[in-house]
Structure 1
Amino acid sequence: MARTREVGTLWIGGPLSWMEQLCLKSFVDKGQKITLFSYEDIPNVPAGVIRRDGRDILDTEDFIKYEKKDSFALFADYFRIHMIHQNPGLIWVDTDVYCHRPMDYDSDYVMGFELAGGRRVNNAVLGLPYDSAILRDMMTFMEDRYAVPPFIKDSQQVEYRAAAAAGTPVHVSQQPWGVWGPMMVTHFVHKHRLLDRVQPLEAFYPITFPDRLRFLRRSKVVDALLSPLTTALHLWASNKRELGLAHNGVPPTGTYLADLLDHHQIAAHAAPLTGRGKSVFDAGLVAAVPLEKVARFADVGGHAQSVALAGWGRWGCAIDLVDIDKRGEWRSEPSRWVAAYRTFLTDNGVPFDQINLVAKAADVVPAQLVVNLSGFGDTIRLSRGAALFDALSAPGGCVITDMRKGWGGYPFWRPRGSTDLLSTRDDDGTEVNRVLVTLTGDAAAKSTPTPKTAAPAASPAASPATPGLNGENWADIATELAGKDGFYRDSGDHAMLFIKRSDTLVVTFDNLDLAMEKREDKRPWGFAFIEKQGWSMLGVTAAGWTWFRDPWVYDQFDDLKKKGFFKRFKRVVFYGASMGGYGACAFAAACPGADVVAISPQSTLDKTLVPFETRYKTAWDRDFTGKYGDAAKVSSSAGRVTLLFDPYEPLDAGHVARFTAKNVVKLRAPLLGHRLGSSLQQMGILSPIVLAALNGTLTEAEFYQKLRARKQFGRYQKELFKRALDKGHPDLARRMGRWVLTHGGNRHIRKAMEKM
Structure 2
Amino acid sequence: MARQREVGTLWIGGSLSWLEQLCLKSFVDQGQKITLFSYEDIPNVPDGVIRRDGREIYDTDDFIKYEKKDSFALFADLFRIHMLRACPGMIWVDTDVYCHRPMTYDDDHVMGFELPDSRRVNNAVLGLPADSAILSDMIAFMEDRHAIPPFLKKSLREEYRNAAAEGHPVHVSQQPWGVWGPMMITHFVAEHRLLDRVQPLPAFYPIPFPDRLTFLKRSALVERLLTSDTTALHLWASNKRELGLRHAGLPPKGSYLADLLARHDIRPEAAPITGRGKRVFDAGLVNAVNLAEVPVMADIGGNAQSVALAAWGRWSSQIDLVDIDHKGNWPGQASDWVAPYREFLLSNGVPDDAIRVVSVAKDLRQASLVANLSGFGDVNRLAPLEALFGPLIGPGARLLTDIRKGSGAYPLFRSKGERQLLSTRSDNGLEIARVIVAVHGQPGQGREQGKDKTAAPAAEPAPASGDNSQTWGAIAATLATGGGWTRESADHSFLYIPRGDTLVVTFDNLDIAMTKREDRRPWGFSFIEKQGWSMLGVMANGWTWYRDAWVSDQFDDLAASGFFKGFRRVVFYGASMGGYAACAFSGACPGASVLAISPQSTLDRSLVPFETRYRTAWGRDFSGPYGDAAQVSGAAERVTILFDPYEPLDAGHVARFTGANVLKLRAPLLGHRLGSSLQQMGILAPITLGALNGTLTEAEFYRILRARKGFTRYQKELFQRALDKGHVTLARRMGRFVLTRGDNRHIRKKLAAL
- Choose the corresponding residue for 2:610, options 606, 609, 615: 615
**What amino acid does structure 2 have at the position aligned with 1:164?**
A
> Quick check: 1:366–1:393 contact (8 Å CA) kept in 2?
yes
Report the CA distance between 1:672 and its aligned residue.
3.2
Q: Once superposed, what is the RMSD of the aligned Cα atoms?
A: 5.2
**1:382-435 per-position Cα deviation (integer Å, ceiling 9, x unaligned):** 113321343211322221112222212222223222222223333344332222
- Structure 1, 433-442 or 205-214: larger mean CA deviation: 433-442
2:148 equivalent in structure 1: 148
**1:557-600 per-position Cα deviation (integer Å, ceiling 9, x unaligned):** xxx9xxx9698852787888889989998998998745455555
Q: Within the alignment, does 1:426 sit opposite 2:421 as a pair? A: no
1:34 equivalent in structure 2: 34
| Separation of aligned partners in 2, 1:124 and 1:637 | 56
Q: Are the structure 2 counterparts of residues 136 and 420 from structure 1 closer, same or farther at C-alpha, using a change threshold of 3 Å?
A: same
| Separation of aligned partners in 2, 1:167 and 1:367 | 57
**What amino acid does structure 1 have at the position aligned with 2:414?**
R
Local SS of the residue matching 1:418: strand
1:263 equivalent in structure 2: 263
1:729 equivalent in structure 2: 731
> Quick check: 1:507–1:584 contact (8 Å CA) kept in 2?
no
Q: Are the structure 2 counterparts of residues 222 and 384 from structure 1 closer, same or farther at C-alpha, using a change threshold of 3 Å?
A: same
**1:325-346 per-position Cα deviation (integer Å, ceiling 9, x unaligned):** 1111122232222222111111
Q: Within the alignment, does 1:175 sit opposite 2:175 as a pair? A: yes
1:492 equivalent in structure 2: none
| Separation of aligned partners in 2, 1:590 and 1:37 | 54
| Separation of aligned partners in 2, 1:211 and 1:535 | 48
- Choose the corresponding residue for 1:644, options 618, 639, 642: 642
Q: Are the structure 2 counterparts of residues 135 and 416 from structure 1 closer, same or farther at C-alpha, using a change threshold of 3 Å?
A: same
Report the CA distance between 1:703 and its aligned residue.
6.7
Trace 1:331-730 onto structure 2 (pairs within 5 A).
331-439=331-439, 440-441=441-442, 442-443=445-446, 570=565, 593=591, 595-597=593-595, 599-600=597-598, 615=610, 638-649=636-647, 663-673=661-671, 697=694, 699-700=696-697, 719-720=717-718, 722-723=720-721, 725-726=723-724, 728-730=730-732
> Quick check: 1:593–1:639 contact (8 Å CA) kept in 2?
yes
| Separation of aligned partners in 2, 1:207 and 1:98 | 13
Local SS of the residue matching 2:211: helix
2:45 equivalent in structure 1: 45
> Quick check: 2:572–2:592 contact (8 Å CA) kept in 1?
yes
Report the CA distance between 1:362 and its aligned residue.
2.5
**What amino acid does structure 2 have at the position aligned with 1:189?**
V
**1:271-291 per-position Cα deviation (integer Å, ceiling 9, x unaligned):** 111111111111122222222
- Structure 1, 102-111 or 419-428: larger mean CA deviation: 419-428
| Separation of aligned partners in 2, 1:652 and 1:730 | 30
**1:246-305 per-position Cα deviation (integer Å, ceiling 9, x unaligned):** 101111111100000001000011111111111111112222222222221111111111
Q: Are the structure 2 counterparts of residues 131 and 262 from structure 1 closer, same or farther at C-alpha, using a change threshold of 3 Å?
A: same
Q: Within the alignment, does 1:322 sit opposite 2:337 as a pair? A: no
> Quick check: 1:241–1:741 contact (8 Å CA) kept in 2?
no
> Quick check: 2:513–2:523 contact (8 Å CA) kept in 1?
no
TM value normalised by structure 1? 0.75
2:5 equivalent in structure 1: 5
> Quick check: 1:505–1:535 contact (8 Å CA) kept in 2?
no
Structure 2 gap segments, 5+ residues each: 447-453, 458-486, 516-521, 529-533, 614-624
**What amino acid does structure 2 have at the position aligned with 1:115?**
L
> Quick check: 2:573–2:594 contact (8 Å CA) kept in 1?
yes
Report the CA distance between 1:206 and its aligned residue.
0.7
| Separation of aligned partners in 1, 2:18 and 2:31 | 20
**What amino acid does structure 2 have at the position aligned with 1:361?**
A
> Quick check: 1:415–1:446 contact (8 Å CA) kept in 2?
no
| Separation of aligned partners in 1, 2:13 and 2:672 | 38
2:622 equivalent in structure 1: none
| Separation of aligned partners in 1, 2:734 and 2:401 | 36
Q: Are the structure 2 counterparts of residues 208 and 243 from structure 1 closer, same or farther at C-alpha, using a change threshold of 3 Å?
A: same
**1:116-165 per-position Cα deviation (integer Å, ceiling 9, x unaligned):** 01411111111111122222221111111111111111111111111111
**What amino acid does structure 2 have at the position aligned with 1:722?**
Q
> Quick check: 1:149–1:157 contact (8 Å CA) kept in 2?
yes
Q: Are the structure 2 counterparts of residues 672 and 163 from structure 1 closer, same or farther at C-alpha, using a change threshold of 3 Å?
A: same
| Separation of aligned partners in 2, 1:713 and 1:301 | 34
Q: Are the structure 2 counterparts of residues 63 and 249 from structure 1 closer, same or farther at C-alpha, using a change threshold of 3 Å?
A: same
Local SS of the residue matching 2:391: helix
Q: Provide the identity percentage.
A: 64
| Separation of aligned partners in 1, 2:161 and 2:107 | 39
Local SS of the residue matching 1:242: helix
> Quick check: 2:68–2:680 contact (8 Å CA) kept in 1?
no
> Quick check: 1:206–1:225 contact (8 Å CA) kept in 2?
yes
Q: Are the structure 2 counterparts of residues 599 and 37 from structure 1 closer, same or farther at C-alpha, using a change threshold of 3 Å?
A: closer
Report the CA distance between 1:715 and its aligned residue.
6.8
TM value normalised by structure 2? 0.75
| Separation of aligned partners in 2, 1:122 and 1:190 | 13
2:114 equivalent in structure 1: 114
| Separation of aligned partners in 1, 2:359 and 2:307 | 20
| Separation of aligned partners in 1, 2:281 and 2:741 | 18
**What amino acid does structure 1 have at the position aligned with 2:77?**
D
Aligned length: 670
Q: Are the structure 2 counterparts of residues 666 and 289 from structure 1 closer, same or farther at C-alpha, using a change threshold of 3 Å?
A: same
Local SS of the residue matching 1:123: strand
Q: Are the structure 2 counterparts of residues 189 and 316 from structure 1 closer, same or farther at C-alpha, using a change threshold of 3 Å?
A: same
Q: Are the structure 2 counterparts of residues 739 and 76 from structure 1 closer, same or farther at C-alpha, using a change threshold of 3 Å?
A: farther
Q: Are the structure 2 counterparts of residues 76 and 190 from structure 1 closer, same or farther at C-alpha, using a change threshold of 3 Å?
A: same
Which of the two has higher C-alpha Rg? 1
Local SS of the residue matching 1:269: helix
> Quick check: 2:687–2:696 contact (8 Å CA) kept in 1?
no
**What amino acid does structure 1 have at the position aligned with 2:664?**
K
1:87 equivalent in structure 2: 87
Structure 1 gap segments, 5+ residues each: 448-485, 489-496, 522-527, 547-555, 619-626
| Separation of aligned partners in 2, 1:345 and 1:178 | 39
> Quick check: 1:724–1:733 contact (8 Å CA) kept in 2?
no
Q: Are the structure 2 counterparts of residues 227 and 649 from structure 1 closer, same or farther at C-alpha, using a change threshold of 3 Å?
A: same
2:236 equivalent in structure 1: 236
**What amino acid does structure 2 have at the position aligned with 1:671?**
L
| Separation of aligned partners in 1, 2:438 and 2:493 | 38
Q: Are the structure 2 counterparts of residues 632 and 25 from structure 1 closer, same or farther at C-alpha, using a change threshold of 3 Å?
A: closer
